[in-house]
Structure 1
Amino acid sequence: MSGSAKRVKQWKPQRTDDFECTLCLKLLFEPVTTPCGHSFCRSCVLQTMDHGNKCPMCRMVLFISPRTYPISVTLNNIIQKNFPEEYAERKLEHENLTYGGTDTLPLFVMDVVLPCQKLSLNIFEPRYRLMVRRIMEGNHRMGMVIIDSTTGAIADFACEVEILECEPLPDGRFYLEVEGRRRFRILRSWDQDGYRVAEVEWVQDLLPSEGTREREDLQKMASEASEHAQTWIRNAREAVRIGRRARRLDFLQADAVPGAQDPEKFSFWLVNLLNLKPSERLNLLRMRDTRERISCGLNILRRTEEQGCLVQ
């Protein structure tokens, strides 16, 4: 009896198809068993359901949500216990897809976004649904980039955005609220599961050192430009009150103006007041001179005032 018990204890399952995901052909990770009896990696079946709600094996209609559907605890425990090294590799592979790092970013190819800019996004393409799920498991950040009309390829400069709000919709889409954070230059990019991923280099303006006369002059310039911009905002609000045509009111928040102590951030707040063409916004991203960016913003503000069009 004891010998039989010993033989049972020593038995280990062999690495067979029973422990392999038929979608990615790898060891199951966070296995989910469907009502029709087929097991897949949670992330794999979630990805297939971006395209339809049928089992990839038998085509049975699945009325499940892989995001909340429970993992098969027994199967998961067997895999972790008997294939620890391969499971560790699968876990690391999964973590590398969640974008918790700072120098590799998934890219949403759509438009030019500037630091401080806020916008709403409706994510409906299957490839970007997958990307958003991975982002939300990581640092909630992605890059937004445009196709450069002069080259036909993705632009060399873009902006990181942080997802402030992510609302999954019943049909699988996502409603996002995002805000522009840091600029970056794309060093290289590649396709991953249908969307673009890039290795990036963070970019900042070349600012004068703290305490120097040049830095004080730049801060003074930012302070004066801030006063001008807030006057412009008040006039724009008055134009709205009396019924003159106006839009982009979401940016007209005088109480949210960055201080002159951060002239680079202020310069982007300033140009966000303006309705600029994508090529103009891309040039502002590439610019490394804060003074030049503030001057550019002020010149456009003055032109809109002269033309009697206060809000672009």
Structure 2
Amino acid sequence: MASPPRALSVEVPSEPGVPSEQERLLRRGERLALGHHLKEALEAYSAALRLGPPPMLSCRRRLGTLVDCLVLHYRLRQKEEAEGEGKEQAAEAAEAAPAVPPPEEKGEEEEEGLFRCSGCRGFLSEPVTAPCGHSSCRRCLSEEFRTRCRRCGEPLGLPSASATVALRHLGEKWFPAECERARAWRRLGQLLAEGRPREALLAASRGLAEDPSDLMLQVYRAESYAGIQDLKSALDDLNAVTAKMPKWPEACYRRAKILHNAGSVDDALQLFLHCLALDEGFLPAKLEVEKMLYDLLSPENVQKSLKESTLNSSHIRSKQRIHDSESETEESYDNLQHTSMTDLEVTSESVGGSLHRTQSAHSLNSTEKMAKDDGLKRVSSEPLLSCQEKGALLKRKLSLSEQDFTVCEDGRNKHKKQGENTKRDAAFSFIYEAIPDDLIDVSDFECSLCMRLFLHPVTTPCGHTFCRNCLERCLDYAPQCPLCKESLKEYLASRKYSITQLLEELIMKYMPAELIERKRIHDEEISEHASLIKNVPIFVCTMAYPTVPCPLHVFEPRYRLMIRRSIETETKQFGMCISNPQNGFADYGCMLYIRNLDYLPDGRSVVDTVGLKRFRVLRRGMKDGYHTADIEYLEDIKVENDCEKKKLGELHDFVYSQACSWFQSLRNKFRSQILQHFGPMPEREENIQETANGPAWCWWLLAVLPVDPRYQLTVFSMKSLKERLLKIQDILTYFSRDQSK
């Protein structure tokens, strides 16, 4: 019988900036879900949908919160059940035998091997390296199963990135049989993508006849069966896969998709939740659950399903009826019967215990009556399930397949342990073994730029791998891959040069001695760059002064490298000198300290520096395109005689007052520009000979005075504070006389 047409509701527009009634209900549902009040959250969402179809994007975003809470409750109940069963088994074992310390467990990477995909747990075929540095199968990324890395949670991004050439070469060299098998999987995927399921079915069946243990072939055969609408055979294949790998999210997701397409929404919903409980970042499963909740909470589905499902559902109230409920669940798989709104409530009750059941004819009549007013409200006097009954109901709803459970003589269900079926290593017929020594070649791990062993290997989106320092130096000159010339502008703009973790782990495992030597050479180079006396990097540009800010715009490749090395050595210092036609740069300069560094998308940078100490150049040199120098630092000669100290103090105070008068006489426009660029003039110091460079205000004044740099350099190089003050006095007198004219 066709359901009545949905009534169109006309909502009075609210004031600008004030949320509508429907939006308030959606927000209320989201808050209730965050508070784990699942029943009330469902009521709020359903009430919002009765006001008319809301914007899908807004509703789905808020339903995502409800999905997260359902998955959280699902996972918590699974943990409670597992802990309860573990305690029972431990108690039984303690009675049967004396306690024995458990064997040490191997780490996941050690147990599974380095060439396993973190997504599908299979062989790492066609490895693609994400921006975070972790590598996955191209298949796992191309299927768009995830938006974030399974290992670190970082956004995957760059889904169209090319396979990592170095890792693919190692896979072909070390595991040729596995690579051939992966190529067979890709061919099956292409056949299904082209809409040729029958050809894919024949190919998958032939492959399984040769190797029945290949679970990926079984998954593709299930997809082929689904493509020709043979759902029972598809489910049989997927059930066999999940029996061997119960913690593989993709297998659960594919089972749920087939059940959902066949109309068994309740079973599909359970499997989608189970998939998210195994992997909360499995995006397609979450989107499916959001869509199902949106459909199930619509008014027509609530009104129709409440009546039909309540009449047909028999809810278990005792341990004696658990076996019957298991048979009922199995029958629902065979018949693929349609789900109902009450089945949705069974799901929410099993994961959170928030929704309750009606038990008698009286409560049934009350439910049908209340459903006309509010699709998800229930009578408040309905009986609560006991802990025992909730456990029985939970086990019934969590029975995802008969292979996942065994039935004991007393009627209790118990989870099978994962190891009872098969080890995860054998699931894909890929057992990681030691690599023969004759297959390990250091040339497979060499950077094509420096021709040395990879140090901090970084993989570009085009799939080529280089040492991080080598790649950065190349990108200083052109935003292109050094090998294939593909544009790396977006990669350069992100500046996220994450280390390719798998390559680094392989180098550490198979070439530890070579890696130690490579790091030793690198450390020597860094220590050479870190010297602040020998081979000091020199930026040839403008005059810089102690204590005075000196902002720089760095765009030349040689200076990009120089700034990067200053950061890497953690000195954050380099020298600044003005140009000299004869020697390349002047004999005197100032050390600058990098306070902040902002990179621009095209690789240029804005560097905020401040002057530290003056120096004199002893010897000049070159390093990778930029100038270097051996230097000695300058210090003012201190006056010891008391009479000379007094005269020096009087001169200092007079010149300081003269400088303040000159600055105040400037036009407001010029004064504002000076303050914006150099900051305010430093205050007068009490002890003018305390520092090696004398009073800070002298250097600030020299920086702002419009004087020829060569004359400034003469004053800059003076080691006598008295002479420097006299020169500044002459300059101020000249400008004051010029202004008076």
User: What's the CA shift for 1:176?
Assistant: 1.9
1:71 to 479, 499, 510: 499
The structure having more radius of gyration, on CA atoms, is: 2
The SS at the match of 2:466 is strand
Deviation sequence 1:246-271 (CA, Å, 0-9, x none)? 964445724x2351413513432342
The SS at the match of 2:636 is coil
Q: Any residues of structure 2 matched to 1:50-65 within 5 Å, and which?
A: 50-62=476-488, 63-65=490-492
2:653 to 223, 245, 259: 223
Deviation sequence 1:129-183 (CA, Å, 0-9, x none)? 121122223222211112224x353211111112223211111111122222211
Q: Any residues of structure 2 matched to 1:135-154 within 5 Å, and which?
A: 135-137=566-568, 138-149=570-581, 151-154=582-585
* Corresponding position: 1:20 with 2:446: yes
Structure 2 segments unaligned to the other structure (5+ residues):
1-432
1:287 to 718, 721, 726: 718
Change (3 A) 1:118 1:13: farther
d(CA) in 1 for partners of 2:456 and 2:565?
A: 15
Give the structure with the larger strand fraction. Answer: 1
Give the structure with the larger helix fraction. Answer: 2
Contact 1:223 1:259 in 2 (8 A): no
The alignment's TM-score, normalised by the length of structure 2, stands at 0.37
1:43 to 469, 475, 478: 469
> Percent sequence identity over matched residues?
30
Change (3 A) 1:9 1:124: closer
13-22 vs 38-47, greater mean Cα deviation: 13-22
User: What's the CA shift for 1:9?
Assistant: 8.6
Change (3 A) 1:218 1:245: closer
Change (3 A) 1:302 1:14: same
The alignment's TM-score, normalised by the length of structure 1, stands at 0.83
Contact 1:219 1:261 in 2 (8 A): no
d(CA) in 2 for partners of 1:153 and 1:270?
A: 27
2:459 to 8, 33, 38: 33
Contact 2:622 2:628 in 1 (8 A): yes
Higher relative contact order (CA 8 A, sep 6+): 1
d(CA) in 1 for partners of 2:617 and 2:439?
A: 46
Contact 1:27 1:90 in 2 (8 A): no
d(CA) in 1 for partners of 2:438 and 2:652?
A: 70
Q: Give the aligned partner of residue 96 of structure 1.
A: 527
Deviation sequence 1:65-111 (CA, Å, 0-9, x none)? 384121012222333452243133143045336x4442242111112
Change (3 A) 1:262 1:68: farther
Change (3 A) 1:80 1:215: farther
User: What's the CA shift for 1:120?
Assistant: 2.5
Contact 1:252 1:273 in 2 (8 A): no
Q: Any residues of structure 2 matched to 1:125-144 within 5 Å, and which?
A: 125-137=556-568, 138-144=570-576
User: What's the CA shift for 1:244?
Assistant: 8.8
Change (3 A) 1:284 1:27: farther
Matched positions, count: 297
273-282 vs 74-83, greater mean Cα deviation: 74-83
Structure 1 segments unaligned to the other structure (5+ residues):
1-6
CA RMSD of aligned residues (A): 3.0
Q: Give the aligned partner of residue 234 of structure 1.
A: 664
User: What's the CA shift for 1:285?
Assistant: 2.3
* Corresponding position: 1:204 with 2:643: no
Which amino acid in structure 1 is aligned with residue 578 of structure 2? I
Contact 1:112 1:145 in 2 (8 A): yes
